[in-house]
């Protein structure tokens, strides 16, 4: 049975999807659901300054409606940087194409991330995307990301993270519950969203994500953002 999860979005138990009508209200929904969502975009753009130069290629894996790509393209409009957005949901890509229309440097691949053959790149971004990839496929994807990067290139990874033990997880979950209620979601919507994400959103801990990166080959890894159960990592090849 479909349940309202906020912003006129309906979802079923253990069946959350970004397809269909979700694209229409996605920006509003995610900005209320993920703390410092837009500030994170600004941080990624700042980090990109250190890695993008003329003739660079940059991938945004799971680009949704293209907001981050728009920011990156605008910031690098005087450089001949090639931006590639990868997104499996066609309705999301339609929104992204309209948003990034003024920037010919931005192109889109309507493909599953796991099927994309990435060219050599100086920056690859996964902004709250890897957490929706089934755990059994994540290591292979991160290893392919490492392989695609030029030497000195960077992988920016933002993820929801699990706490290191049960007590901390209880605290983080309670704080996040209050966060969503304070931003206008009602209790039924919060429960409905949590039920819809069962088996779909599978966060790793901080150490679990670092393990993915180091096994892929990254040696230089640091946290660049942290708020309760949300974390951003910078990994340099």
Tens digit of each residue's pLDDT, the chain (237 residues): 677 766 677 777 876 677 777 778 888 889 999 999 999 999 999 999 999 999 999 999 999 999 999 999 999 999 999 999 999 999 999 999 999 999 999 999 999 999 999 999 999 999 999 999 999 999 999 999 999 999 999 999 999 999 999 999 999 999 999 999 999 988 888 888 888 888 889 999 999 999 999 999 999 999 999 999 999 999 999
Structural domain of 22: 3-236
Q: What pTM was computed for the model?
A: 0.95
Q: Residue 126 belongs to what H/E stretch?
A: strand 121-127
Q: Residue 74 belongs to what H/E stretch?
A: helix 67-75
Instruction: Give the pLDDT score at 225.
Output: 98
- Give the chain's domain count: 1
Instruction: Give the pLDDT score at 192.
Output: 85
Instruction: Give the pLDDT score at 7.
Output: 65
- DSSP-based three-state secondary structure for 88: coil
| Helices 37-48 and 22-33: angle between axes, nearest 10 degrees | 90
Place of tokens 């889109």: 108
Query: Which residues, 6+ apart, have CB-to-CB distance to 39 below 8 Å?
Result: none
Query: Which residues, 6+ apart, have CB-to-CB distance to 105 below 8 Å?
Result: 73, 76, 77, 80, 81, 82, 83
Instruction: Give the pLDDT score at 10.
Output: 73
Query: What CATH number did the domain enclosing 33 receive?
Result: 3.40.50.150
- DSSP-based three-state secondary structure for 4: strand
Rounded distance between C-alpha atoms, residue 46 and residue 48, angstroms: 5
Rounded distance between C-alpha atoms, residue 59 and residue 106, angstroms: 10
Output the six-digit token pair for 97. 């194409």
């Amino acid at each position: 049975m479909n349940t309202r999860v906020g912003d006129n979005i309906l979802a079923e138990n253990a069946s959350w999807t970004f397809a269909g009508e979700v694209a229409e209200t996605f920006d509003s929904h995610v900005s209320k659901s993920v703390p410092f969502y837009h500030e994170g975009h600004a941080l990624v753009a700042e980090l990109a300054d250190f890695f993008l130069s003329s003739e660079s290629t940059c991938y945004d894996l799971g680009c949704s409606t293209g907001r981050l790509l728009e920011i990156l393209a605008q910031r690098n409009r005087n450089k001949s940087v090639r931006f590639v957005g990868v997104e499996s949901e066609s309705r999301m890509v339609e929104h992204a194409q309209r948003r990034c229309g003024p920037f010919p440097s931005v192109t889109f691949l309507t493909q599953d991330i796991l099927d994309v053959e990435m060219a050599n790149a100086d920056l690859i971004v996964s902004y709250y995307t890897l957490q929706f990839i089934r755990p059994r496929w994540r290591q292979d994807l991160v290893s392919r990301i490492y392989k695609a990067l030029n030497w000195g290139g960077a992988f920016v990874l933002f993820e929801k993270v699990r706490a290191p033990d049960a007590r901390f997880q209880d605290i983080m979950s309670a704080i996040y519950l209050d966060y969503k209620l304070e931003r206008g979601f009602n209790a039924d919507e919060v429960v409905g969203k949590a039920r819809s994400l069962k088996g779909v959103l599978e966060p790793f801990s901080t150490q679990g994500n670092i393990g993915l990166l180091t096994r892929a080959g990254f040696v230089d890894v640091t946290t660049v953002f942290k708020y309760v159960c949300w974390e951003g990592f910078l990994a340099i090849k």
